[in-house]
Amino acid sequence: MQGRNNASSNDAVWKKVLCRIGVYRWLLALSVGLAGVSTALTLWIPLLAGHAIDCVVARGNVDFVTLRGILGKIVLSAAVTAALQWLMNTVNNKIAFEVVRDIRTEAFEKIQRLPLRYLDAHAYGEIVSRVISDADQFGDGLLMGFTQFFTGVITILGTLLFMLRIHAGIAAVVVVMTPLSLVVARFIATRTHTMFRLQSETRGEQTALIDEMMNHQKVVQAFGHEEASLADFDEINRRLSACSLRATFFSSLTNPGTRFVNNMVYAAVTLAGALAAIGGSITPGVLAAFLSYVNQYTKPFNEISGVMTELQNSLACAERVFDLIEQPAQSSDETLPSMSESVSGQVTLDHVSFSYVPQTRLIENFCLDVKPGQRVAIVGPTGCGKTTLINLLMRFYDVDDGAIRVDGEDIRSVTRASLRRSYGMVLQETWLRQGSIRENITMGKPDADEDEMIAAAKAAHAHSFIRRLPDGYDTVIGEDGGSLSQGQKQLLCIARVMLCLPPMLILDEATSSIDTRTEGKIQDAFGEMMKGRTSFIVAHRLSTIRDADVILVMKDGHVTEQGRHETLLAQGGFYASLYNSQFAT
Amino acid sequence: MRKLLRHLSHYKKESILGPLFKLLEALLELWVPLVVAAIIDRGIAQGDKGCTVRLSLLLAGLGVVGLVSSVTAQYFAAKAAVGFGERVRHRLFAHIQTLSYSQIDTIGTSTLITRMTGDMNQVQGSVNMSLRLLLRSPFVVFGAMIMAFTVDRQAALVFAVTIPLLSAVVFGVMLACIPLYRRVQEKLDEVLLTVRENLVGVRVIRAFRKEEDERQRFRERHASLTGAQEYVGKIAALMNPVTYVIINGAVAVLIYVGALRVDQGLLTQGEVVALYNYMSQILVELIKLASLIIGLTKSVACGNRIQAVLDMVPDMTFPDKAPEGMPSSSDAAAIAFRGVGLRYAGAGDHALRDITFTASPGDTIGVIGGTGAGKSSLVNLIPRFYDATEGEVLVDGVNVKAYPKAALRGKIGVVPQKAVLFKGSIRENLRWGNPEADDDTLYQALEAAQAAEFVAGKEGGLDYEIAQGGKNLSGGQRQRLTIARALVRRPAVLILDDSASALDYATDAALRQALRNLPYRPTVFIVSQRAASLLHADKILVLDDGQMVGMGRHEELLRSCVVYAEIYASQFRGEDDLSVGIGKEGDSYAGKE
């Protein structure tokens, strides 16, 4: 049952792969044709060499005329074969690399359209590895399949045909004995499997220790713990060494093993061939041709068994990429109208219900009416789901029930792009892209001029530190902000929003990771931005909370209370107890 | 790399016997064509069946002996390579522990980890392959030529021309491809970065509606990758066809020359077959050799990177013996900074400039300032994690550079900014502070660090197993354990580098109270962002951009120091005393609550 399931899912993956290769079907046909012709020529050459040797019998008994003709044929067919082979390899490369490119592009474009629900639920590293390494490994397998599988199969069949035509008895010896080398290889592989597993487990253990001790080397040295950790390391190192020796040695027996079998085949063919030659049924030249066939015949067997594992492996990789590609995308909004660019900023949540997983209801039947220019503070203990509201407002997630309206218009009735255009968002988890400071600030408005950009940076209190960077605004920062401090990154993100200043804002206040002076600057910048704009603030600071027009108190994902500071305090509910435990002494 | 290979010398016997047995196997292989020639010339030509059978059995016998010798060779090679790996890893680990903080900063921990894992595996694998193949392949190639010469000198000249020609092609193509493959890898990394950025920054990208731009960016980068792949593919694809033409051309010439010699009666038919067989042996071995050498060049690069780490001389030396008159008591120590400046290796600007202050024994010193003001840099100079680039740091009146390493660091208990704990029990972790400490001492330390209660609540108490990275403890618990760890050694100087940030106000206050009441009265340095934590310090140092802009008690600074007043005001806005935020540990923005 299991096997059948695997087989059928394999078939399905094959179908998808073939469908993508189908685009290049003419190139593929060309490749197969080239493989056929060049392999046939490759097989013909040893036979020609054999005939040539038969022209050279003994002193005074050499047929130079025939010999020259044959040798000419050898050189000519070698040249033609070579040209065809090169062409075939180039074609194969082209197909494999372009198929991988197509699949990767498909995957990347899918990522752009996947709902956040999917992306949030999967580790980034895992998705990256699907798009990059899985696709890469699939490509390698594909390429190897093209170059070695076809030629391998054709070589085996061709050789068999040639050998049978020349001498069925000797051919039988080869056919019976050769698979032995496969058996040997398989035997060693299964026996060493557990050794390799032990080796990689021990290696993993060692890497974990190395990782721990290297990352915290400063603590190790501060406490003079060097010798103790070296002793721990040595203990694992010795164990690794012991199991590594077994794995390395036993696995390295594959080549001697298969070579031994091949040598035995060689000896048997020599014996059978020589006896046949003595009997006069073949010539010494044919024996020579036979011996080189023996070498050619066993090689593709070993290769093909390698290719099969590789293909199996690459199919599994392809399956992971396809799994990503076939995820349902977020609903298309191409036909929807854009939201007006000049919204007033009235936001209504109308009986909204939402949950991440159906079993646990989070927000239920929630209503809120925010008038243009009002400030909404979202407060609650860690992990209470404050970010859920941001997810809904920005339409990173869709509500399950009810509706969110901006200026009376359901946000699902306009394009996502136009909705998001009217929000400025600064998250606590800052994200900057690899590139210059300039590129990062002008992300929302690429055509902004120098003065506008500097004005935005000044308003965000970022200008002074940017100016002190080695190349000022042209300083290139690494992935995710590189060497900038957390506070500086947040100031840059503020500058980025400052440049566009949309009518509505979503702000996530800093927590303790930022020093208080920088935090003060961020506060001032936030204040500057919020003037006259509808703002939603995930609030940590008392001053922000008290100035808010509406406070939403959240607990365990639900909005439990809403109102102004004084009202909520007077209610004596969760807000009041939260306030007393956190702010009062 | 050569220096690294010295570690093989402990496996001299294995490193010599391995290749030797491999050569024996190769020698047997070279014998095979001669046996086949004898079969053709004596067995077939003279119709001698007995001779044919005997010679065929000889072929099988050669196969058996070959198997035995190659298995022996594999064993010795594996043993030498694995032993070599074990030694180098040990040396590397031991050496890294002697490097200074600033050297570790310069190299970076992730690099060190790669050196010890990926690079090391690559080198070990290559040592193994080299012991097996590095001698064998050239031996077969040149052996085949030499055997050809023993068969017939004139015909063998074909080998003398073919081998260099083949080598040139094989190595030429492979060498030409190395930089091209590297370029492919770089382009692949760029594509990877694009994908990563799009995942990590998905909210921002969608908020700023950059999806189409990103698609464009991806397509451009990938087109450049595919282009590079196809280019290197075309060049790599040259190798097989070109060598094929050369070999077959050589075969044609060889047979023709052979024919002329046979016609003159100088050579037999069997010998021509032998020459032909030698010719087909060399190509296989040349290709093996070339790919081995390509693999080796990669490993040499890895090996050099490892050697570079081993070659780093620890740039901080400690005297072995304490100088005369060094105070030895473990009483609270006095600290003095005299015109201290610090500039990190490779940094453009000073992290600290002209810092001068003194702390009397038993004092509590607060250090405050914005991010990057130099607070941690300042306290890191006391245990000599870094050396001051200007001025001097004195502990008990003696320059820190005059102390032996253990004597200096043993006096000081450090609680680092990041609460780092190690895999193992709580007891094991606390004993980092003092390996001989008994449970009473540990409990006292836990008590002072406000950690006794939660440790008692854990299953097994002190025996509770901490997971890697302390993942099974909360941030506040980790922080308190690191404080206890430092207290276990009853330090003369205690340094808390912003170590109470995850504690709530009440615990923070209780901790400060307990520290003041420690019986051995250590000199305490508290680095903090919260003015509230420093209100009762004997002296507060105010840092701004590496300079000391204020020094004194809270009330004085409030009046005299603008920066301090600003910090204070930012934290004490309004009538409320404290502005510790609601839910201050922050939400993860994953939306997975």
The DSSP code sequence of A519-570 is HHHHHHHHHHHHTTSEEEEE--SHHHHHH-SEEEEEETTEEEEEE-HHHHHH
Say if the Cβ atoms of A517 and B112 lie within 8 Å: no
More confident residue, A258 or B573: A258
Same structural domain for residues A455 and A498? yes
What is the CATH classification number for the domain harbouring A110? Answer: 1.20.1560.10
**B5 phi and psi angles, rounded to 5 deg:** -65, -15
* Residue of A111, A385, A431 lying closest to B204 (CB–CB): A431
Which value does ipTM take for this structure? 0.81
Single-letter code of the amino acid located at B43 = G
Distance (Å, rounded) from C-alpha A24 to C-alpha A374? 58
Say if the Cβ atoms of A253 and B71 lie within 8 Å: yes
Answering whether pTM is above 0.80, one says no
A295 belongs to a structural domain:
no
Query: Residue written as tokens 């055997």?
Result: B147
| Interface A-B: count of C-beta contacts within 8 A | 462
Give me the pLDDT at residue A405, please: 94
Please compute, for residue A338, the number of CA atoms within 13 A of its CA located in the half-sphere on the CB side: 9
Say if the Cβ atoms of A128 and B199 lie within 8 Å: yes
Query: Residue written as tokens 């001492």?
Result: B441
Same structural domain for residues A371 and A504? yes
Judged on CB neighbours under 10 Å (0-12, 13-18, 19+), B252 is: buried
Count the Cβ atoms, other than its own, within 10 Å of residue B202: 21
Q: Detail the DSSP E strand segments found in B448-546.
A: 465-466, 493-497, 523-528, 539-544
Distance (Å, rounded) from C-alpha B367 to C-alpha B335? 14
Q: Are A180 and A262 in contact (CB under 8 A)?
A: no
What is the CATH classification number for the domain harbouring A467? Answer: 3.40.50.300
Same structural domain for residues A60 and A195? no
A334 belongs to a structural domain:
no
Q: What is the mean pLDDT of residues A306-312?
A: 77
Sequence length of chain A is 585
Query: For residue A489, what is the DSSP state?
Result: H
CA distances (Å), origin A88, targets A232, A463, B248, B390, B513: 54, 58, 20, 68, 80
Query: Residue written as tokens 């007006």?
Result: A340
Q: Does B562 touch chain A (CB under 8 A)?
A: no
Same structural domain for residues A74 and A129? yes
Distance (Å, rounded) from C-alpha B254 to C-alpha B267? 12
Domains of chain B (ranges; CATH) run 2-152+267-311 (1.20.1560.10), 335-571 (3.40.50.300)
A367 belongs to a structural domain:
yes
Q: Are B118 and B238 in contact (CB under 8 A)?
A: no
Residue A12 CA to its chain's centroid (Å): 21
B266: left (phi over 0), alpha (psi -120 to 50) or beta: alpha
* Residue of A124, A270, A288 lying closest to B200 (CB–CB): A124
- Structural domain total, chain A: 3
Nearest CA in chain A to B433: A223
The B residues from 171 to 190 touching A (CB cutoff 8 Å) are 188
Same structural domain for residues A324 and A418? no
A1 belongs to a structural domain:
no
Query: Residue written as tokens 């469908």?
Result: A19
Give me the pLDDT at residue B348, please: 61
Distance (Å, rounded) from C-alpha A392 to C-alpha B199? 19
- B585 interaction partners in chain A (CB closer than 8 Å): 382, 511-512
Distance (Å, rounded) from C-alpha A314 to C-alpha A141? 5
Q: Which of A265, A296, A328 is the last residue of a domain?
A: A328
Give me the pLDDT at residue B573, please: 52
CA distances (Å), origin A493, targets A446, A489, A567, B358, B378: 15, 6, 34, 41, 30
pLDDT digits (tens, 9 = 90+) for A455-502: 999 888 888 888 878 788 988 887 666 667 777 888 888 889 888 888
A117 belongs to a structural domain:
yes
Distance (Å, rounded) from C-alpha A296 to C-alpha A164? 15
Same structural domain for residues A161 and A226? no
| Nearest CA-CA distance, residue A3 and chain B, Å | 35
Distance (Å, rounded) from C-alpha A353 to C-alpha A365? 5
Question: What single string gives the DSSP state of each residue in A435-472?
Answer: EEHHHHHGGG-TT--HHHHHHHHHHTT-HHHHHHSTTG
Q: Are B295 and B126 in contact (CB under 8 A)?
A: yes
Same structural domain for residues A190 and A117? no
Same structural domain for residues A367 and A465? yes
Give me the pLDDT at residue A313, please: 79
Q: Identify the residue among B247, B535, B587 best suited for mutation to test binding to A, counting A beta carbons within 10 A and taking the highest.
A: B587
Query: Residue written as tokens 């010890």?
Result: B116
**Which pLDDT band holds residue A507 (cuts at 50, 70, 90)?**
confident
Q: Does B221 touch chain A (CB under 8 A)?
A: no
Measured between its terminal Cα atoms, the distance across chain A in Å is 67
Domain span at A213 = 168-281
Distance (Å, rounded) from C-alpha A491 to C-alpha B448? 39
Give me the pLDDT at residue B325, please: 62
Interhelix angle B211-236/B153-200, rounded to 10 degrees, is 170
Interhelix angle A25-55/B269-311, rounded to 10 degrees, is 130
**Which pLDDT band holds residue A584 (cuts at 50, 70, 90)?**
very low
A541 belongs to a structural domain:
yes
Say if the Cβ atoms of A253 and B113 lie within 8 Å: no
Same structural domain for residues A162 and A182? no
Sequence length of chain B is 593
Same structural domain for residues A218 and A157? no
**Which pLDDT band holds residue A585 (cuts at 50, 70, 90)?**
very low
Kindly tell me the sign of the dihedral angle through the C-alpha atoms of B487, B493, B497, B500.
Answer: positive
Q: Does B30 touch chain A (CB under 8 A)?
A: no
Say if the Cβ atoms of A288 and B273 lie within 8 Å: yes
Same structural domain for residues A217 and A109? no
Give me the pLDDT at residue A4, please: 44
**Residues 6+ away with beta carbon under 8 Å from B205:** B198, B211, B214
Give me the pLDDT at residue B249, please: 93
A301 belongs to a structural domain:
no
Q: Does A237 touch chain B (CB under 8 A)?
A: yes
| Nearest CA-CA distance, residue B352 and chain A, Å | 17
B390: left (phi over 0), alpha (psi -120 to 50) or beta: beta
Same structural domain for residues A479 and A558? yes
Q: Does B111 touch chain A (CB under 8 A)?
A: no
A341 belongs to a structural domain:
no
Say if the Cβ atoms of A512 and B432 lie within 8 Å: no
**Ranges of chain B with pLDDT below 50:** 574-593
Q: Are B359 and B523 in contact (CB under 8 A)?
A: yes
Say if the Cβ atoms of A233 and B93 lie within 8 Å: yes
